[in-house]
Amino acid sequence: MRPFALFLALILALAGTARLHAELVWTPGQGWRIEGGALAGLVGDEARNALELMNEARSAEENGGVRKALKQYKRVADRYPNSVYAAEALYRTGMIRMQRKEYYKAFEAYQNMLQRYPNSEKFSQVIAEQYRIASLLLDGSRSYMWGMIPGLKNRERAIEYFEQIVANAPYSDYAPLSLMNIARGHQKLKSTEEAIDALDRMINSYPQNLLTPDAYLKLAQTHASLVDGPYYDQASTKSSITYFEDYLIQFPGDAGAGSAEKGRAEMKTMLAQSKMLMADYYYKHRRNYKAARVFYNEAITTYPDSPVAERARVMLADVDARLAGQNPPGVPDAPKSEQPKRKKRFWLF
C-alpha cells in the first residue's frame, strides 16, 4: 500500500473511532459542541447544516416547541445517519416521546438508536428507558396518541418489549428482570404455559442471578396452579414438587423457604391422594387386590408422614390379609374428596 493511501486509511479509522466515543454537550448560550477533539463525521456545508438543525431542535425543545423539535431531530437522523449527531437526535426523540407519554413511539426511537448505533455511550441509559416503558405498560399505563389521547391498555405489547430488551442486552441486569416480568405479564393474561416458559428460561440462562431463587419458587407455584385435583393427571403436581424441592435444596436459607415447604406438602398430599383414588378403585370396583396394593404402597412412599399415608397403611394391611386368604381387619372409609368443578385431564382407566 502506498504511504499516502496508508495515511488516509489511518485518518479514516481514527475518525471512525472518534465518532464512536464523541461526547455531545449542550449549553443554552453556545448550542451543541463536540468535546474531546472528536470529529463530527461530516465536513463543509453538511456539518454546518446538521449542527444548525440540532441547535434548532434543542432550542425548540427547551422552549416547549416539541413538534418542531421532533421534526428537526428526524431530519438529522434521516439526512446525516453517519454523523455524531444522529444517535443523539434519536435519543432526544425518545425522551420527548416519553415526556408526552407516547410510549410506543418512544420505544421505537430508542430501538432505532440501539440498532443503528450499538456502540453509543448511552446504550445502558437507553436500555433502562426501554425497561421503564415496558414496566409502565405492564402495570396498566396507556400510551398516548399525539400526546393527548390515551390509548387502550396493552400488556401484550409490554411483553413484546421485555422480549426485545432480552435480545438487545442479554448480559445486562435488565435481561433477567425482563424475563421475570414476561412471566408476570403472561400470568396476568392467564397464559400459564408461557409464564412457565419464561421462568424456565430465566433459571437456565441466569442460574447465578439474585432473582433465580424467586424464579424457582414462582415456577413451582405456577405449576401448582395448573393442578385440578386428585382425580386428574398429576404431571403438573410432579413438576411442582420437583421445583419446590430444587428450590429448598439450592436455596435453603432463602426467605421463601417456609412458603416452599408448605407448597411442597400440599402437592405431595395431592399426589398421594391421587394414588389412593387409584388404589381404592382397584380395591372396591375391580377386586384387584394386587393392583390396589401397588398404589397403596405408592401413596405411602409419596408422602410417608401424611394422614393419607396413615390410611394407606391400614388399607394395605387389609389387602395383605385378603391376598393371604385371611379375614381382613376393619378398615376406615375413604374420606370424601371434593368433586372438581371442571375437567381438564383424565385418568387412563
Which residue type sits at 104? Answer: Y
CA 214 from centroid of its chain's CA atoms? 12
User: Cell 412471566 identifies what position?
Assistant: 183
Expressed in percent and rounded to 5, the helix, strand and coil fractions of the chain are 65, 5, 30
Cα distances from 117 to residues 80, 109, 123, 189, in angstroms, run 13, 12, 9, 34
Please state the φ and ψ torsions of residue 130, each to the nearest 5 degrees. -60, -40
Question: What per-residue confidence (pLDDT) applies to 329?
Answer: 64
Alpha-carbon distance 108 to 238, whole Å?
43
Question: How big is the chain, counted in residues?
Answer: 349
Sequence-ordered alpha helix ranges (H) in 139-256? 155-168, 174-188, 192-205, 212-225, 235-250
Annotated domain spans of the chain: 14-99
pLDDT at 277: 96
Q: How far apart are CA 37 and CA 248, in angstroms?
A: 57
Element (H, E) at 150: strand 149-153
DSSP string, 217-243: HHHHHHHHHT---TTS--HHHHHHHHH
pTM for the full predicted model? 0.83
Predicted local distance difference test score (pLDDT) of residue 188: 96
pLDDT in the model for residue 297: 96
Cα dihedral 100, 101, 106, 108, rounded to 10, equals -130
Residues whose CB falls within 8 Å of the CB of residue 17, separated by 6 or more in sequence, listed in order = none
pLDDT in the model for residue 5: 46
Distance CA 349, CA 345 (A): 12
pLDDT by 10s per residue, the chain, length 349 = 454 444 434 333 434 444 445 578 998 888 998 876 556 677 778 888 999 999 999 999 999 999 999 999 999 999 999 988 999 999 999 999 999 999 999 999 999 999 999 999 999 999 999 999 999 999 999 999 999 999 999 999 999 999 999 999 999 999 999 999 999 999 999 999 999 999 999 999 999 999 999 999 999 999 999 999 999 999 999 999 999 999 999 999 999 999 999 999 999 999 999 999 999 999 999 999 999 999 999 999 999 999 999 999 999 999 999 998 886 666 555 555 554 455 444 443 3
Q: Which of 92, 93, 87, 175 is nearest to 131 (CA)?
A: 175
| Strand 149-153, strand 142-145: pairing | antiparallel
From the centroid of its chain, how far is CA 91?
25
